[in-house]
Amino acid sequence: MLKDKVALVTGGSTGIGKAIATYLASLGANVVINYFVGPEEANKVAKELSDTYNIKSLAIHADVSNYESAEKLIKEVVDTFGKLNIVVNNAGITDDALILRMNETQFDRVINTNLKGVFNICKHAARPLLKSGYGRVINIASVIGRYGNVGQVNYGASKAGVIGITKTLAKEFASREVTVNAIAPGFIETPMTQKLPPEIKEEMLKHIGLGKYGKPEDIAYLVGFLASPLASYITGVVIDVDGGLTI
């Protein structure tokens, strides 16, 4: 379905990003895995994808929060593959605290990675995407960006901003048939959420309609759909994948 397409997944070596990269590779896409830390893991994932799905995959280090680093990342992708078709902005961090205790550094770190990082990647990827003849941007937002959460003013603001970027770029890119959509995950089992105290996880479970946590693959399958020709008439939307958490 995505044979010969070139996909970039930021934060693609672990958790949701790894699941996304794996599923896109299974659909035939050549996959670039961007990482900030953990080169061994990123290169291992890239090799596994190449060997398993008979596609081309490589890992590239870049700090998406840095404008020049993001520019070099996109340039390396295009120089290597000759094009770029699919961008999945998945890289993100948390640094939680009530606003009374949150310091400026905590706020800036999360905004710079989660929000400015999406701007940086989209800014530099815009030209090759618009020239590609087949372009998809899929931003990983969060239900927190739509509904808020105590102790996550930085994270909520960053993900709300990602939704704003998504809707704006959907309008800017529409004339070239490049679609831009966002996915808002709920509580997904990843290394990040596994660090939460058991009592918080138990309390969260009470509010999930389906009575279970999501898997990274639940996000990956939707990314694959939005990246495919099946979703060619969908743009500017935000889709919650939360098991009924926000009903």
247 residues of the chain, pLDDT tens digit each? 999 999 999 999 999 999 999 999 999 999 999 999 999 999 999 999 999 999 999 999 999 999 999 999 999 999 999 999 999 999 999 999 999 999 999 999 999 999 999 999 999 999 999 999 999 999 999 999 999 999 999 999 999 999 999 999 999 999 999 999 999 999 999 877 777 778 878 888 999 999 999 999 999 999 999 999 999 999 999 999 999 999 8
In a domain, 123, yes or no: yes
Question: In angstroms, rounded to a whole number, what is the distance separating the alpha carbons of residues 21 and 25?
Answer: 6
Instruction: Please give the C-alpha separations between residue 33 and each of 12, 55, 77, 166, 227, in angstroms, as whole numbers.
Output: 5, 13, 10, 21, 16
φ/ψ region of 241 (left if φ > 0, alpha if ψ in -120 to 50, else beta) reads beta
Host domain of residue 80: 6-241
Q: Among residues 147, 155, 221, 233, which one is catalytic?
A: 155
In a domain, 1, yes or no: no
Q: How many domains does the chain have?
A: 1
In a domain, 156, yes or no: yes
Q: Is 155 labeled as catalytic in the residue annotation?
A: yes
CATH number, residue 15:
3.40.50.720
pLDDT the model gives residue 108 = 98
In a domain, 247, yes or no: no
Q: Which residue type occupies 17?
A: G
In a domain, 246, yes or no: no
